[in-house]
Structures are given as C-alpha cells and as structure tokens.
Structure 1
C-alpha cells in the first residue's frame, strides 16, 4: 500500500509507465486489433470482441469512468449514476488509496481534467486492481475507459448471463432471492442461510426470508413444498436485496 506522503504525480507517472508496458503486451497476446467489432454489457460486466471470421474474445471488466470532451471533466465510474455498481465496485480500493494518501483525484467523483486524465486514472486503476489490459471506446462526446481483470471462456460468459437480472431501480445486478413478504414493508425479520456483505462482489445466491416464513420452515422441519409455497420466492437484484436487508435490520 502506498505511503500517505507519496507524491501523486510520481505515483501517476509510474502507473502510466506500467500501463504503457502492459498494454502492448495485452494487445499482442490477444491480437485485439484483428477484431472488427466490440460490445460491452453492463448487465453482466463483460466485454465482447468479435471478428468476421467467427473468433470471439470475452473479458470481465471494471468501468473506470469517462471523460467528456464537451465539459473537459472526468467522471469516475463509481460516481456515475448510470453505471451499475457491480461494474464499478472494485474501484472502492482505488478510492481507499486516494483517501489514505489524500489524493483528491481518486476520491472526487467529478472534476476538471484534460485529454490525458482518462488514461491516467485508468493506469492507476489498472495498477491497483491488477488488470491484464485496458480499452477506451468513444460514445458521443465521451470517451469511456475500461480495465479488464480476466479473460472469460464462452461458457463463463454464458453463465454470467444467468447470474444477473435487469432491474428497474438499479439497471442490472446479480440475482438474489427473497420471500414474497420481504417486498412488503410491513413484514418483520430478515433471515439468511449465511451472512452476506454488500462490499463483497461475488456473494453466492443471496437468499432471505421473513420471520413468518422462518416459523413455517421450523414447523415443517425444512424447506418443504408447503414452506416454499408460503414463501413464494421472488427474484430481485443484489442492490435491492441489500436495500431490503438494511431496512429490515433497522426496523
């Protein structure tokens, strides 16, 4: 971890040097320039390169942020309300380093910059999050910056699609499961098979049920058909899940 008194400019320049060494190797290793098309899917946090000869590449990504050529501002992914939390959550480590070292550039969500700011913040994120490469795409007056954390197989890519759900409130996030009663503000209790933490990206199949469902489960001795029917499990996104959990535990 970087000392509190380290100079930001020195740290930034070192990260840029590291990225300048890493990026050509990444581009060469995966032959990125031979892929004519690219797609990114915020709902699952996966980037897809596609070639006309049928080749495909998939990467798990972190949405670092965007630079606006209209306002000359840098907007971190974690500060952008249109960016799902699960594709920017790893940036919390970058913010922590910024807080420890008093690096305002890493803790301010939106600030003035120039054409080099995007690559500088991407380089720092790549360094701190052990990225294997980075990529920049144009979008209207914006340049959007990504870092890739690992390659995905086609099977892993398809599995990700099964683990995420579209959400009207939070765009998209991992699927979670709650009993029908927890969607009602009058329900009491929040029971889980294991303790969950919103700061952990890969919580496995978050599940919760209210106290009334717990009474039925205990009476039945397990999750019998009767208990399952009573619970009438609903699918929600992870963010909705933890919003419900916070409200119920405060009640």
Structure 2
C-alpha cells in the first residue's frame, strides 16, 4: 500500500510528464489550435480539422470520463456504452488498485472532479505509454483519451 506522500509524488510525476508531452504535441503538431474534432471509431482514431479539412489523425484509446453534474469519474473499461476495442487498454490501470491500495482504480465509477480526470489521464500516459492525452468536452462531460500516435492527414 502506498503512503499519502507516495501517492502525491506519483501523481506529481505523472502530471509533470503529461505537461511535457502536451507541450511537445503543441510544438510539433499545433495541438489545441484546431476548430473541431471527430471520432473515427472503426479506425480507433480522433481526427482534428480546421476549415472543414482534416489536419491530424491520432490513434487513441479511451481512459475515463468525468461528469460535472454528478461529480463523478467513470473508467472507460466500466462504460458499457463505449466500444470495447477503444476501452480495453484502460483495464491495464486496474492493477494500480492492488499496487497502491487505492480502490478508485477498481471502481467503475467514483466521486471525482475534472482535475482528477486529468490526473487519471496522466497516470494512464505514464502506465500505458503514448505521446499525450486529449480531453474531449461534451456538454457537462469530458472524455479523456490517450494519444498513441499522430500523423498529418
């Protein structure tokens, strides 16, 4: 079981790693500047577009979602409405429940804020690998996805 200090240190490490990864995505691919995003579910992709033209195609997996109105986080593996081929990678985070002693990694849904969604996305980046994360807003919900690769369209 991890101590509070170990948990805080690990989250800080993951958040720092994510910040560096996000800066690299912004520098190399102009992340955050596109007008819209769309999912290409059959190809496990997130497409960023501007002026109606696809610009970037990202290979992704779903990590978790947060909902402001209920103050909750749901792991992608626990959301049966999402395609399994896009959620199965998130199952790799359940082992953290045993390692850390924190049951949040094994509960499909738990009380959480958007900030905790970012923290779980940063942990996913650290544990599962990838080159960054993206938060897909939808009303009062946010879907956090792990970016595995990026290519220009």
Task: Please state which band the TM-score falls in when normalised by the shorter chain.
Answer: 0.7 to 0.9
Query: Which residues of 2 match residues 115-194 of structure 1 at below 5 A?
Result: 115-152=114-151
Deviation at 1:41, TM superposition (A): 2.5
SS at match of 2:122: helix
Q: Which residue of 2 aligns with 1:27?
A: 26
Distance 1:53 1:42, change over 3 A: closer
Q: Which residue of 2 aligns with 1:109?
A: 108
SS at match of 2:125: helix
Structure 1 runs not aligned, ≥5 long: 155-251
Return the alpha-carbon distance in structure 1 between the equivalents of residues 38 and 141 of structure 2.
16
Q: Which residue of 2 aligns with 1:249?
A: none
Q: Which residue of 1 aligns with 2:74?
A: 75
Return the alpha-carbon distance in structure 2 between the equivalents of residues 54 and 19 of structure 1.
28
Moved over 6 A (4+): none
Structure 2 runs not aligned, ≥5 long: none
Query: Which residues of 2 match residues 78-89 of structure 1 at below 5 A?
Result: 78-89=77-88
- Which of the two has greater strand per residue? 2
Return the alpha-carbon distance in structure 2 between the equivalents of residues 18 and 108 of structure 1.
25
Deviation at 1:54, TM superposition (A): 4.0
Return the alpha-carbon distance in structure 1 between the equivalents of residues 61 and 24 of structure 2.
19
The TM-score, its normalising length taken from structure 2, stands at 0.88
SS at match of 2:143: strand
- State the Cα deviation string for residues 47-81 of structure 1 (Å, max 9, x = none): 00112284521111111111010100000100011
Q: Is the 8 A contact 1:18 1:127 kept in 2?
A: yes
By relative contact order (CA 8 Å, sep 6+), the higher-ranking structure is 2
- State the Cα deviation string for residues 17-74 of structure 1 (Å, max 9, x = none): 1111211111221012332221113333210011228452111111111101010000
Q: Is the 8 A contact 2:34 2:48 kept in 1?
A: yes
Moved more, 129-138 or 144-153: 144-153
Distance 1:143 1:54, change over 3 A: closer
Number of equivalences: 151
- State the Cα deviation string for residues 216-246 of structure 1 (Å, max 9, x = none): xxxxxxxxxxxxxxxxxxxxxxxxxxxxxxx
SS at match of 2:118: helix
SS at match of 1:75: strand
